[in-house]
Chains A and B, each alone.
Chain A
Amino acid sequence: MSHLKPERVAVFGGVYNNHLALEATLRDAHAQGAERVYCLGDIGGFGPSPDKSFPLLRDAHVLTMMGNYDDSIGRGLDDCQCGYTDPRDNHFAQISYDYTLKKTSDPNRAWLRTLPHAFRLELGGRRVRFAHGSTRRINEFLWASTTPEPFIERLLRDADADLIAVTHTGIPWERRLQRDPASGLLNVGAIGRPANDGDTCVWYALLTATGGPLGVEVELRPVRYDHHALAVEMRQEGLPEEFVETILTGWWTTCLEILPARERAASRF
């Protein structure tokens, strides 16, 4: 019934091959009464067995958009276009990329090439816009400490939106405008990798239309899944022990140099 205006939607991004977390997220979203589920892209990367995520997304009718990773895997590019600058970060990013490219079937790669780049919807009378990195670039990083309010206002203006939701960084956060709390920006984090805070859970967002001044209420929800089982599978697949450690501890061990000073200071490594 796609012509109905939904009252509650679930939004996640950054599956990174973590099919166990994807299953758990879909279960939770369903239990919470989400009428639609959106995936903001980056299906591959980091985790094991890329082909396992695709049937889960399709069977649950997840509205999926293209992330930079999906663009790269779909077209068979040389790297993930994440835009890392540090040599060690690039080294590890390349390991997961080469693994994912090799292990993603041709039909799934063809499907990635068909994904849309953005979604628009109306929720609680607000114009909501979903994008992967930002509304202006697929691989722009929007971190809490480097995405200030005046810049959010500009993004909203340029995108004709009241609320923007993105992923791509892996750490969830939300900022509302002081002059209009019904407007703002939400990063839903990632369900493929914990949020670098020492907790092994992953995060997604539930958006609910309210009659109140917020227009749309955002709930960032932690998801617990069998991360031990994922670790076993990652080792079987020969993925680096550094990645396994992140899944088992909740702390990032790679891709750290891209973090702003604030987020970096809060991390363990």
Chain B
Amino acid sequence: MSQDLVDLAARANAPTLPFAGLDTLWLQVTGTLCNIACRHCFITCGPKNDSHPMMAREHVLDTLDVARRLGVREYYFTGGEPFMHPHIFDLIDATLQQGPLSILTNGILITEDVAQRLGDLFRRGPYSLDLRVSLDGTTPEENDPIRGKNTFHQILAGGERLLRAGINPVWTVTTVHAAFDDRSEGYARFRSLLEARGFTRPRLKFIPPFLIGREARRSQGYAADDLLQEGDLFEGEEHVLQCGSCRTVTARGVYPCPILIEAQDARMGDHLEGALHPIRLDHPACATCHQEGFSCRT
């Protein structure tokens, strides 16, 4: 049998995850457009990749209307780099009217002005505003080969501007380094770096690497027997895996989660209302979520 047929047979036997209702909505506001191009990005984001273009302002606002009717609990903005969006503050404002928002950013575009405006919004609204900044090492030598030249200092500077504006961001670390396999040691090193920079209560989230997107080229990618099979899921797993209660909207349509927006067969149509049903976890990345009990939520 050819490898394709083996894959097909394995995927046909994938388990179905129940859908617990739409609690979390991810908005891929800048699609795959990013100001940098990290080597481990699980989608191939970069300055020239517009396979998912930016979402139009109206598309975001319409989606928010639907989400309000559906009773969504929380929102996430991601990309790409959300702060590349020309109307980003309109979108943040509109979202915070109806629920808490977390923005995933690489921090580089957080200027003094952006930080101050975010600080105002953080203090003003009834709902929580959270910023998540990704950093991949405790030194430029660790971080920069992955995220790009000089990014270590730029990322930390963005985080420091947030802190001065009254926002203590969550630092997300993708555990691609052997050094961070031991989480407690990784935690300790990041804590002392951040404390030295004035973050007296560092908030940290470690993320397992997904071997797709650009990361598939960097590492070996997934093997066919990484696929989940019927019977692998445990009872109530829809409350652990985020795709049991989240969907992602991009300029190109609706997807189960932010990880699979480049998997063409994962697309669930144009409308959120049509995507609120159980899905089959037939993608290799699903095995990582299942094994790590992973959720992209903060």
Residues of A that sit less than 8 Å from B by CB: 87, 137, 143-151, 153-155, 157, 256-257, 260-265, 269
Q: Is the CB of A87 within 8 A of B184?
A: yes
A146-B128, A148-B73, A150-B68 given as contacts; is B168 within 8 A of A264 (CB)? yes
Residues of B within 8 A of A256 (CB): 201
Residues of B within 8 A of A144 (CB): 126
Q: Is the CB of B70 within 8 A of A154?
A: yes
Q: For the complex, is B122 an interface residue (Cβ under 8 Å from A)? A: yes
Q: Is the CB of B167 within 8 A of A261?
A: yes
Residues of A within 8 A of B180 (CB): none
Residues of B within 8 A of A260 (CB): 100, 128, 130
Residues of A within 8 A of B74 (CB): 146, 148
Interface string of B150-169 (1 = CB under 8 A from A): 00000000000000001110
Closest to B67 in A: A150
Residue in A151, A153, A263, A264 with the greatest tally of chain B CB atoms within 10 Å = A151
- Counting chain B residues whose Cβ lies within 8 A of the other chain, the interface size class is 20 to 34
Q: Is the CB of B68 within 8 A of A261?
A: no
A143, B128: Cα distance in complex, Å: 10
Instruction: Identify which of residues 66-88 in chain B touch chain A, using a CB-to-CB cut-off of 8 Å.
Output: 67-74
Kindly provide the distance from the CB of B272 to the nearest chain A CB, expressed in whole angstroms.
14
Q: For the complex, is B127 an interface residue (Cβ under 8 Å from A)? A: yes
Closest to B23 in A: A151
Q: Is the CB of B239 within 8 A of A261?
A: no
Kindly provide the distance from the CB of A263 to the nearest chain B CB, expressed in whole angstroms.
8
Q: For the complex, is B277 an interface residue (Cβ under 8 Å from A)? A: no
Q: For the complex, is B129 an interface residue (Cβ under 8 Å from A)? A: yes
A153, B70: Cα distance in complex, Å: 9
Residues of B within 8 A of A157 (CB): 71
A257, B122: Cα distance in complex, Å: 18
Q: For the complex, is B209 an interface residue (Cβ under 8 Å from A)? A: no
Kindly provide the distance from the CB of B51 to the nearest chain A CB, expressed in whole angstroms.
32
Kindly provide the distance from the CB of B189 to the nearest chain A CB, expressed in whole angstroms.
15
Residues of A within 8 A of B222 (CB): none
Closest A-B pairs by Cβ, 9 of them: A154-B71, A145-B128, A148-B99, A262-B128, A151-B73, A261-B130, A260-B128, A146-B100, A150-B68
Q: For the complex, is B106 an interface residue (Cβ under 8 Å from A)? A: no
Q: Say which residue of A148, A149, A154, A257 sits within 8 Å of B203 (CB atoms).
A: A257
Q: Say which residue of B23, B73, B126, B168 sits within 8 Å of A261 (CB atoms).
A: B168
Residue in B68, B71, B99 with the greatest tally of chain A CB atoms within 10 Å = B71
Q: Is the CB of A145 within 8 A of B126?
A: yes
Interface string of B194-237 (1 = CB under 8 A from A): 00000001010000000000000000000000000000000000
Residues of A within 8 A of B28 (CB): none
Interface string of B102-135 (1 = CB under 8 A from A): 0000000000000000000010001111100000
Q: Is the CB of B130 within 8 A of A147?
A: no
Closest to A264 in B: B168
Q: Is the CB of B73 within 8 A of A147?
A: yes
Kindly provide the distance from the CB of B29 to the nearest chain A CB, expressed in whole angstroms.
19
A147-B73, A150-B68 given as contacts; is B129 within 8 A of A261 (CB)? yes
10 new A-B contacts, CB < 8 A, other than A149-B98, A262-B129, A265-B166, are A137-B239, A143-B128, A145-B127, A150-B68, A151-B99, A153-B71, A154-B70, A256-B201, A260-B100, A262-B122
Kindly provide the distance from the CB of B104 to the nearest chain A CB, expressed in whole angstroms.
14
Kindly provide the distance from the CB of B119 to the nearest chain A CB, expressed in whole angstroms.
10
Q: Is the CB of A261 within 8 A of B69?
A: no
Q: For the complex, is B187 an interface residue (Cβ under 8 Å from A)? A: yes
Closest to A261 in B: B130
Instruction: Identify which of residues 25-71 in chain B touch chain A, using a CB-to-CB cut-off of 8 Å.
Output: 67-71
Residues of B within 8 A of A263 (CB): 128
A263, B187: Cα distance in complex, Å: 23
Residues of A within 8 A of B126 (CB): 144-145, 148
Kindly provide the distance from the CB of B203 to the nearest chain A CB, expressed in whole angstroms.
7
Kindly provide the distance from the CB of A77 to the nearest chain B CB, expressed in whole angstroms.
15
A137, B73: Cα distance in complex, Å: 15
Residues of A within 8 A of B71 (CB): 150-151, 153-155, 157
Kindly provide the distance from the CB of B267 to the nearest chain A CB, expressed in whole angstroms.
26
Closest to A139 in B: B239
